[in-house]
Amino acid sequence: MPQFRYRAVTPAGEIVAGEVEAPSRDEVVRRIEYLGHLLIDAELATKSRFASKTSDAAQKSPRPRDVTLFLRQLGLLIAAGLTLESALQTLSEDTSKALAWFANSLRSSISTGEGFAETLERHPSIIIPAYVAMIRAGEASGKLEAVLNAIVEDRTRRELLADRFNSAIAYPLFLVSAAILILFFFLLFVVPQFEPVFRDLGNRLNSGAAFVLGASTWLCANLEVFLGTCLAVALAGWFLFRRREVRAGVIGALASIPGIAGTMRDQRTARIVGTLALLVDNGVPLPATLKILRDIITEPHYVAAIDKVHEQVRHGRRFSDALAQTDLLPPLALRMLRVGDETGDLPSIARHAAHFYEHRLSIGLDRLMGLIGPATIIVVSLLIGALIVSIMSALLSITDLAT
């Protein structure tokens, strides 16, 4: 859809300017006049395609924590009595470049009469559909400030959980990366120093030393090919992992590993129940909530389960009864949601269930960290030790031959 740049005069005599998507200039004029403004001019935005793509790539990805802070400040300004448009203008003058662009984009669309939720739908990479649905319900009920506060609280809790998860895998990844670097240094710089000596031994080398020498020789001769292949594999893996079905396969494989399956199940349960509580508590109808839940789950098996629950709820079946016919949630979560469904207090019970499973998830991540860290150290030590033993045994064999 074409992008139009406009300028108009408000009834108070203030000049406003911005950009808006519209099928034609007449539609822009209609929107401006509907707001009671006097249009000065409206023309197609004439940015070059290259500049537009470069600008979008640089400006459409503010950091998640910055977005959380932005939403918190927006809620505070609205609570202080500012209109949504004024609050966005204030934030656009006192934020980072990426958020300033985001705030200006929202303000420009709102100034032409679009709703806040409708505007946010154009930025799915910044504001997920679940939050957009909450904001739409908040606009309809006049509780936008409360909805923004709920979104901020939810984002903050998810960011803390993400930090716990990242810290749980960062140390093992560091150890593995360090082991790989040591291995490369050993094969590229240390082993070649002994190559002339090892060549003299010929067939008298032990199998371990012979393997290390062969690997070092091949790597030195084909270093560029090896590094290019590794880069190509990494890029291919990155592109594949961006596909939803590939991510679902990886998550499903991880969820089947003993010791990890329980933590993965707690993570999925906490996310489903937490999102359910958040949406229903903020006025989103249950059928719409189930459609949003479908989009945040990647495994096809559980997507089909949510579709089944959604279909039964649409035809009048009680939510807890429909949910019990699937394996989407563990038995304890099902019992808790059934109590909430039967007592009419589903949002509150679901919120307590989400906190319970988030606590279990934290304990599970700590337990995994306690197991994976030492296991990684043992594997790395064995690998480096085997290389050193291979070289030292070969050197000792030279000494034996000399004597």
- The tens digit of pLDDT for each residue in 291-334 reads 888 877 777 888 888 889 988 988 888 988 998 888 888 999 99
Q: Is the pLDDT of residue 401 over 60?
A: no
Residue 54: predicted pLDDT = 42
Q: What is the pTM of this model?
A: 0.66
Residue 75: which of 151, 145, 150 has the closest Cα? 145
Residue 211: which of 196, 230, 198 has the closest Cα? 198
Residue 204: predicted pLDDT = 62
- The tens digit of pLDDT for each residue in 200-241 reads 655 566 676 677 778 888 888 888 888 899 899 989 888 887
- The tens digit of pLDDT for each residue in 266-289 reads 888 888 898 888 888 888 888 888
Percent of the chain whose pLDDT exceeds 90: 4
Residue 31: predicted pLDDT = 76
Mean pLDDT, residues 63-69: 87
Residue 294: which of 307, 309, 282 has the closest Cα? 307
Tell how strand 38-44 and strand 3-9 pair up: antiparallel
Residue 131: predicted pLDDT = 87
**E strand or H helix at 44, and its extent?**
strand 38-44
DSSP per residue, 1-42 = --EEEEEEE-TTS-EEEEEEE-SSHHHHHHHHHHTT-EEEEE
All structural domains of the chain: 1-46 (3.10.20), 158-403 (1.20.81.30)
Distances (CA, A) of 282 to 150, 175, 266, 293: 8, 44, 24, 15
**Helical segments of 35-83, H only:** 49-59, 64-79
**Top-confidence residue, 222 or 366:** 222
